Every structure is written in structure tokens, then in C-alpha cells.
Amino acid sequence: MATSKAEPKNDVKPEEKYQGLTTKQLTQFYRTIYLSRRLDDREILLKRQQKIFFQISGAGHEALMVAAAAALKPGYDWFYPYYRDRALTLSLGMTPYEQLLQSVGAADDPSSGGRQMPSHWASRKLNIVTQSSPTGTQLLQAVGCAEAGRYFSSHPEAAEKHDGDYRAFKNVVFHGDEVVYVSCGEGTTSQGEFWEAINSASNLKLPVLFVVEDNEYAISVPVEVQTAGGNISRLVANFPDFHFEEVDGTDAIASYAAFSRAVEHLRARRGPAFVHGHVIRPYSHSLSDDERLYRPEAERQEQVKRDPITRLQMFLIREGIIDEKGINRLEKEVDEEVQEATDRALSAPLAERDSWKRFIYSPDIDPTSNAFLHPPDAPKAAKDEKTPDKTMADLINACLKDEMRRDARIVMFGEDVADCTREQYLKQKQVKGKGGVFKLTSGLQCEFGSDRVFNSPLAEATIVGRAVGMATRGLKPVVEIQFFDYIWPAMHQLRNELPLIRWRSNNGFSSPAVVRVAIGGYLTGGAVYHSQCSESIFTHIPGLRVVFPSNALDANGLLRTAIRCDDPVMFLEHKRLYRETYGRAPYPGPEHMIPFGKARTVRQGDDITVITYGAVVPRTLQAAQRIERDHGVTVELLDLRTLSPYDWDAIASAVRKTSRVIVAYEDVLSWGYGAEIAARIADELFEDLDAPVRRVAAKDTFVAYQPLVEDAILPQADDLYEAMVKLAEF
Ligand SMILES: Cc1ncc(C[n+]2csc(CCOP(=O)(O)OP(=O)(O)O)c2C)c(N)n1
């Protein structure tokens, strides 16, 4: 690296004159800024030569970024950057070669193994957490990351490794004064998740450094469309405990001063910080955009005057820190470095065609294996009035308690999951506590404390987004979505983040959180917004395990598998089954586990197979008993228990046995979960069939409030019976 030995002309100490920066650091700033720009330029060239396939630049943001990095510590603090942060990631220690490996889609691309577009940074070593393309999804995760850091600081024992579950593969490192950096553009501040993240960080006084890189455009949409009044700093100014900075982000020294003050506030644990940097965007949004279509020449020229490269170069020369010769030497050296990195990257082995198969799920723990087979303990006492069988709600609660006792990394939150947020009411025994609208988490806060079991704001993206950040750091969040009907605000996190963290980072990061969701109808008055079932939307997502138990014992055993495994799990709990008489069981002990992807034969039969799950299981059982009574037809009833993965072997052998099959499910008939099963049976078992595959499901509408109409909409035992009779006659 070329640095000048020249000292400032006057006798003011560099540290004072340059906000604590030495001349060496300033020269290094220039080098990184220039390097970052040259890498962008090189990528632009490579894209035009069709040697890479996408380009988005960090041009104009570089000064702010080198300043941020200088105030923080790589591999110590945590980083959730966005695509304009090339100069930040270079300053933290990523090399040009590593960055270009991503551009060409190389096998050794450390960020994603050829899976993500360029500028989607990740580095385990440097604590740069895998980044995605949706604008703003990183913000809540950064909050969760900071919460995890705080949790481990106050529960250091939780960080210890443990064999026998996901903890064996999750190294936890934390520091008492660590900071979590997260950045976004000013356009992204329009996302609801931005406000949710700011709100939670403020409320919890978390050490999150929010950086808004304001280049005044989100592709072609100017800031006045995004932000009321045109200035985000003004809007966030009243969030408590924040340290705020608004700075010219093309001025590296002023930016460094702003970050230094912010980081001091953060390390002293006084609350979060917000740095609003005014930057420029001298290139179009990306190479897929042409800004001349919406920005006139005069406006584009205006910002050139603020280009951070020329600004810092002129400053260094003016101050006598480096002369023109020195600049030329430094730039030549950088150009050679870029050339060398480009040559190497272009000849690096590309990601292999079948590499897509790797890391959809954990390579370390297979929840479908027999390691997760642990039968229930024999009941301690014979069934009598003192040990009545437990409901599904009881046994889910029991599993949560057992696992929390066993694993200090488990934290639980969601809407109303705490016994009582105002702890003093519990302590003074003024109240008994709530513990969930369905009481599934009852007593957990009382036993495990308010830092392990707590209420979240009424914001589903917050629940899942924070859980993703926590799980990335090694905690095991087991969060609750109160009603499936209200899961949709979390969809971004559930579809684009939770199940993708591992795959998109080529196993660099993982996020094995458990999301418990109360689902389903048959409630007599549940109506449109308390009865929904759309599980196939989630079984459609690679990387996510989806579980849907039908009885108390399965719920207990499968939930334990969900918690101990190393993959993200959506655990669907049918509200109607929570306290049903059907499927109660004695407490199975603290180790009961059922592997994923293993169906249960509820009932043996020779004539018809019904494949189903959830609340349709008891209804099918009723219908099966009736058709046997009425017609002597015997039904083989298969309860899938887990929907992704599902037990194809069990399906195939049951279908081969009976040659007639019904797939039954509570969701609307069309495009439902049964369509996939029916299609695969038709495809692979066609010759074993004596009749067409039939489906029994809800009508293609929503669930109505009036119970008579609700009955007509949802699949009933009568519907199943009729379908069985017709199929037997076919
Ligand atoms: C949720 C989402 N919506 C839309 C897009 C498409 N998109 C990519 S970048 C971008 C503009 C982002 O603007 P801003 O946050 O101001 O950042 P800048 O690119 O200007 O730095 C848009 C609309 C996206 N990636 N994610």
C-alpha cells in the first residue's frame, strides 16, 4: 500500500485536526474509496463484455462507508450491510478477489458460492451476515442480532456448546460492548419493517447502528415521494434513547466524526444510533437502469461536484498529506490489484451445475433420522383420575417447559405469550398471568424469567425478523404467531429470509428458528379471519420444515424435534385440536421425539387409503368407522404429521395396498396441499390404481361465521364418508 510519509503542513496534531484520524488512515481511506470505485468500474466493463451478469455500484457512497468501517471492528461487531456497501466491506477486510468471485458466480465465492448477485456481501469471519435483495429485511434481523448479543452477555452459560442438538454446530461468540451495524437507502425507509426495527431498537435500548445512505433516489423515485417532508432525520427524531447524526456522507472526515460519536453512545450501552448520510449516486441505480430517463443533465452534473473521490483527493493534496505523484502511485497500485483480482476471478472454477442441492437444509443434523426417534416413556401411573390424559395444549406447553429447562438458548416471544409484562403484578400475586391467547405458553415467563419469555409488539414481521437475527447468532427462538390468518405481514421474513439464510450463504450462516402458528377452523364462529389454513403456501418454500400434528403426543414429540434440529421449522397447531378429547395422551417424558417425514397409520384397512393431517384426521376416522359399519369397506388412514418433508414411502405402500386413494385436507380444494400428493400418486403409482385419485377439501372460498355455512364450507365427516362410498363403488 502506498502511503505518504508527509505530515500536515502546520503544527496541529493530526488527531485533532482530522477528527482523530491520522494521515496514514486518511490515505488508506482514499485508497479504499478509489479501490471500491475501480471495482465498480471493472464490473461494469465485465458486464458489458458479458463476463458477469449483473452490476450494482457503491459509487458515491464510499466516503460514508470507509468512515463507518473505521469506527467499528470487523469480526467483533456485526454487520448487516446492503448492496451499496462495497467500500465498507473492503475496509472490513473483504478482498477485491473475493468480491469478484461473486460477480462471476464462482464456486469459491465466500458470500454465496455463486448463488447471489454481486454486492450481496457475506463473511463469517468478518461477521458480515448474509444479505438478500428485498429492501429492508435486514433491519429487524439486526435488532434480533443485537438482542442475541445482549442475551449471551447476561447468560454466558447459554453460549456453551452442547452435543446432541443444533448447539453442537453453532459457535457463539459475543462481546459485552459489541455493536450491530445495519444500513439501507432512503427509499427503504418507506418499508414498514424500517419503522418496526427503529421502534424495537429504541424500546429495548439496543446497540444497533442504523445507517441511512441518502442518495435521494430509489431507482427513479425521488426522496420527496418516500419521506414526508423529504428528510428522514426529522421523522425519526423523537424515538427515545437514540443518538442521531446527520452528515454530508461524501465528506469522509465529517462522516468519521459522526460515526465515532454514534459508536461511543452504542458501546456505552446508552441506546441505538442513527446516522443519516447525504451521499450521491453518480451512476444509474444499476446497469439495468438508465438514469438519463428521469434525471436531467444539470442535476447529474451538480452531484459530480460532491464526488467523494475528488473531494478526498483534493483535501489530501491541499493538506500536503500526499502529493500528485503519490496519488498516481497509489492509483496505479490499486489498478494493478484490480487487474490481478479480475484475472484470477475470471479463471476461478465456477459453481457446479448440481451445487444447488447443497445446504437447502442443515448438512449436520437430519431431523428425519432415527436420532430423533424417542418413544414416549411409559406412563408413571395407570390411567386414573389423578393422571388424566393430557390435551394437545398441555403437551405442547409441557414440551416447551422441558426444552427451556434443558436449553438456555431458547427464548420465546410473540403477541400475548408472556404471563404478564408488568412483572410486579405477578410478584405481588395480583394476577395469575395469561401465557398466550390459547394459554400454550402459560407459566413459562414465571418459571424462566422475562428475558426468556416476553411479549412482542403487535407486529408479525417484527416477531419473525427478530427471530431470524437471533437464530443467526445461535439462539433458539421459539416464537408464536397468534393466528395463521395474521401471518402475512411476516411473509417477507418467512419466504425470503428464514428458510434462505443457509442456502443463499452457501452454509455460511443459518437460522434454525421455530415459528409456532395457531391455525385452522371448525371453531363454530371463527369466521373469515380466525379459521384460515393455507399450509401449502409454506410447504412450497424450500428450506422450511412444515409440521402439522393431529394429536397431543405427536405435537409433543414433533415440537421437540423442531426445537432440537438445525433447520427452520413452521409448527402448525390446530386450534380446534388444542383441547379436543380426540388424541389426548399421558405426558410422554422430557425426551419424546418423532422424526420428521414419518407418517402414522392411524387405522389399517384394505379397500381405500385416506391421506390426511391435522383436524381432518378425527373426521376421517369417524367416516371410516361408519363405512365399515355400513358397507364393510375398510379404510387405511394415514396421518402425514409433517407436510414438508412428507412420508412418500408410507403413501406409496398404502396406495399399493388399497389401490384407491383419497387425499383430504382442510384448506380450499384448488391449488391445495393435496394437489401435490395427488399429482405424485398419479405420476408414480398410476399402475397401482384402480380408480382416480380423489380429493376432499374445503370449498374454494373463505370460512363463514354462521356455523351452518361454516359446516358447508369445511370438509366434514359426511363429505369424507360420501367420497369413500363413491370411490369404493367406482
Ligand atoms: C421489497 C423490495 N421492493 C422492491 C425492490 C426493487 N428495488 C431494488 S433497489 C430499489 C430502490 C432502493 O432504493 P433506496 O433504498 O433508496 O437505495 P438506493 O438503491 O438508492 O441506494 C428497489 C425499488 C426490492 N429489491 N425489494
Q: Encode pLDDT of 167-222 as tens digits.
A: 999 889 999 999 999 999 999 999 999 999 999 999 999 999 999 999 999 999 99
Q: Is 612 helix (H, G, I), strand (E, B) or coil?
A: strand
Q: In 332-430, at which residue ranges do the beta strands (DSSP E only) sit? A: 410-414
Q: What value does the mean pLDDT take over residues 322-350? A: 98
Q: What share of the chain in percent tops pLDDT 90?
A: 96
Q: C-alpha dihedral over 85, 88, 92, 94, to 10 degrees?
A: 50
* Ligand 1 atom closest to residue 184's alpha carbon, by position in its atom list: 15
Q: What is the pLDDT of residue 4?
A: 41
- The secondary structure of residue 703, as a DSSP letter, is P
At 3, the pLDDT band (50, 70, 90 cuts) reads very low
**Can you give the pTM of this predicted structure?**
0.96
Whether the CB of 57 sits within 6 Å of ligand 1:
no
Residue whose CA lies nearest to ligand 1 atom number 12:
218
Residues with a catalytic annotation lie at: 530
- Read off the pLDDT of each residue in 398-419 and give the average, rounded to a whole number: 98
| Rounded distance from Cα 443 to ligand 1 centre (Å) | 43
Distances (CA, A) of 372 to 308, 392, 398, 564, 692: 57, 20, 18, 9, 36
Considering only CA atoms, which residue is closest to atom 20 of ligand 1? 218
pLDDT at residue 11 greater than cutoff 50: no
**What are the helix (H) ranges across 407-515?**
423-427, 444-448, 460-473, 491-492, 501-504
Among the listed residues 136, 285, 176, 315, the one whose alpha carbon sits nearest the alpha carbon of residue 220: 285
Give the DSSP letter of residue 490.
Answer: G
Mutate to test the pocket of ligand 1, among 135, 214, 225, 497 (most ligand atoms within 8 A of CB): 135
Closest to 100 (Cα-Cα) out of 53, 38, 54, 39: 39
* CA-closest residue to ligand 1 atom 13: 218
Q: What is the pLDDT of residue 12?
A: 52
CA-CA distance, 557 to 338, in Å (whole number)?
55
Q: Percentage of the chain surpassing pLDDT 70?
A: 97
